[in-house]
Amino acid sequence: MGRQANINWSQLLQDIQQHAVKQIARGISLVENEAAGYEQLLLSLPANHDTKIIGITGPPGAGKSTLVDALIGAVSKDGKKVGVLCVDPSSPFNLGALLGDRIRMSEWYNDPNVFIRSLATRGSLGGLHPKIIEITELMKAAAFDYIIVETVGVGQSEIEIAGLADVTVVVMVPEAGDEVQTMKAGLMEIADIFVVNKADRPAADQFVRNLRLMLAPAFNNHQREVPVLKTVALEKQGIAELYTAISSLLQETHDDTKRAWLLTERAYHLVQQKRMKDIRKDVLQQKILEQLRDDRFNLYRFVEGL
């Protein structure tokens, strides 16, 4: 639970609100490592913010990082501030997290409008980073225009990204052709935009047609048609169109239900942690062992006595 740290939290928040990049990075680390007092920082975050979160997800090998890289370019060219959180362990952005070091793509290293950070998933089974909500809230205070969250679409993480992001982009490649039939319902369900990346490959057009068929409102419960866009991220093809599609969706009124669900799960978990703080399982087990040996253990009496 973190070392004692002598930190001026209100100064730190001020610096973050001034978009001081080093202080943003420091703030994230303090939250990640649960440095003593980090809850104070989170308590003092303003609720009001205009930062939009863009979720980029999809199977491994779909080219998510290249797409994110290209998207950073488009956003940066637009004069907007963008923060990137990478919770995809297979991403090259995430090399830093794997090595216990922070590596930023050299292209953006000197761009003050671009901030890239990798987060270790820390074995939280299939989910996003355990403090992803806290970290995005902190970054919102830093007045980013966009936060891009890149994550691999497996397990729990895909419903989490849908709750976290204002718009969720699901990236696939034409090779996925046959897989689409058996594509995880989860990925279909959460996509606000579909991107078929590496669309210069032969099977691309057929794949896009199939995808559009599957996404037709008659066959699923999306409220409206889900756009399917073609990109060749490595050549920056289709990126401007993707950025336009994202921006336009972000203008629309947003349904908060998924976000409220995610926040409810997290809030419930935090209350649980707080209320169970005084109970250590190893101590319980020791007491239970003793009572078992004396043949006086009764589960409900034991629980009532805690």
Q: Is 20 or 45 the residue whose CB approaches a copy of itself more closely?
A: 45
The CB-of-46 to a copy of itself minimum distance in angstroms stands at 8
Q: Is 80 or 266 the residue whose CB approaches a copy of itself more closely?
A: 266
The CB-of-50 to a copy of itself minimum distance in angstroms stands at 10
In the chain the first and final C-alpha atoms are separated, in Å, by: 24
- 3-class DSSP state of 176: helix
Q: Is 101 or 295 the residue whose CB approaches a copy of itself more closely?
A: 295
Binding mask 127-166 toward a copy of itself (x if CB under 8 A, else -) reads ------xx--x-----------------------------
What b-and-e string marks burial along 27-43, b requiring 16 or more CB atoms within 10 Å of the CB?
Answer: bbebbbeebeebeebbe
Q: What is the number of alpha carbons within 13 Å of residue 160 lying toward its C-beta?
A: 22
Q: Is 189 or 265 the residue whose CB approaches a copy of itself more closely?
A: 265
Contact 140, 64 (CB under 8 A): no
Stretch binding a copy of itself (CB under 8 A), from 1-9, 19-27, 44-52, 145-153: 44-52
- 3-class DSSP state of 34: coil
Q: In what order do the strands lie in the sheet with 114-118?
A: 114-118, 82-86, 146-152, 52-58, 167-172, 193-196, 228-230
The CB-of-185 to a copy of itself minimum distance in angstroms stands at 19
Q: Which of residues 286-305 bind a copy of itself (CB under 8 A)?
A: 288-289, 291-293, 295-304
Q: Which of residues 18-37 bind a copy of itself (CB under 8 A)?
A: none
Q: Is 137 or 192 the residue whose CB approaches a copy of itself more closely?
A: 137
Q: Which of residues 234-273 bind a copy of itself (CB under 8 A)?
A: 256-257, 259-261, 263-268, 270-272
Strands 167-172 and 228-230: unpaired
Residue 297: CB partners within 8 Å, gap ≥ 6?
288, 291
Side chain identity at residue 143, one-letter code? A
Q: Among 12, 45, 51, 66, which residue interacts with a copy of itself (rule: CB under 8 A)? A: 45
Side chain identity at residue 192, one-letter code? D
Query: Does 122 interact with a copy of itself (rule: CB under 8 A)?
Result: no
Stretch binding a copy of itself (CB under 8 A), from 8-16, 43-51, 72-80, 197-205: 43-51
DSSP string, 204-263: HHHHHHHHHHHHSGGGS--SSPPPEEE-BGGGTBTHHHHHHHHHHHHHS----HHHHHHH
Question: Please, is 7 exposed, middle or buried when counting C-beta atoms within 10 Å of its C-beta (0-12, 13-18, 19+)?
Answer: middle
248 vs 193: CA distance, rounded Å: 11
Q: Is 25 or 45 the residue whose CB approaches a copy of itself more closely?
A: 45
Q: Is 101 or 304 the residue whose CB approaches a copy of itself more closely?
A: 304
Contact residues for a copy of itself, defined by CB under 8 A? 39, 42-43, 45-48, 133-134, 137, 256-257, 259-261, 263-268, 270-272, 274-276, 279, 281, 284-285, 288-289, 291-293, 295-304, 306
